[in-house]
Structure 1
């Protein structure tokens, strides 16, 4: 698959915010940020300078399978 097509597919998925992941996991945003800092939850940085954090739903599912009961 051409690189441009792959990038278009990746950007067409809806990425989750830290707040949305916290709501889905019934936990606090701080807990989600700790998981990110510990390297347990993969993120995508977007926006100017990469300041905004977004989580791919597949990465969130993998995190839940590995670390949540």
Structure 2
């Protein structure tokens, strides 16, 4: 009996850049980096040496919900 391999239907997640989050929140990139540094906004490091920061849209939504101004 042959088993079929599951088709990969998951699309790669689109992660936001620091610049995109800053534009969405109408603030500076430095403000976004500060929020990440103090743990208010969850981010992941990607790229060579983990140099680049990316933010999951769900984490950004949670941050905006928790820190409405």
Q: Into which bin does the TM-score normalised by the smaller protein fall?
A: 0.7 to 0.9
Measured in 2, the distance between the counterparts of 1:9 and 1:49 equals 29
Unaligned runs of 5+ in 2: 1-7
Larger radius of gyration: 2
Query: Size of the alignment, in residue pairs?
Result: 62
Please state which structure has a larger fraction of its residues in helix. Answer: 1
What is the TM-score of this pair, normalised by structure 2? 0.82
What is the TM-score of this pair, normalised by structure 1? 0.82
Measured in 2, the distance between the counterparts of 1:51 and 1:10 equals 26
Unaligned runs of 5+ in 1: 1-7
Aligned CA-pair RMSD: 2.0
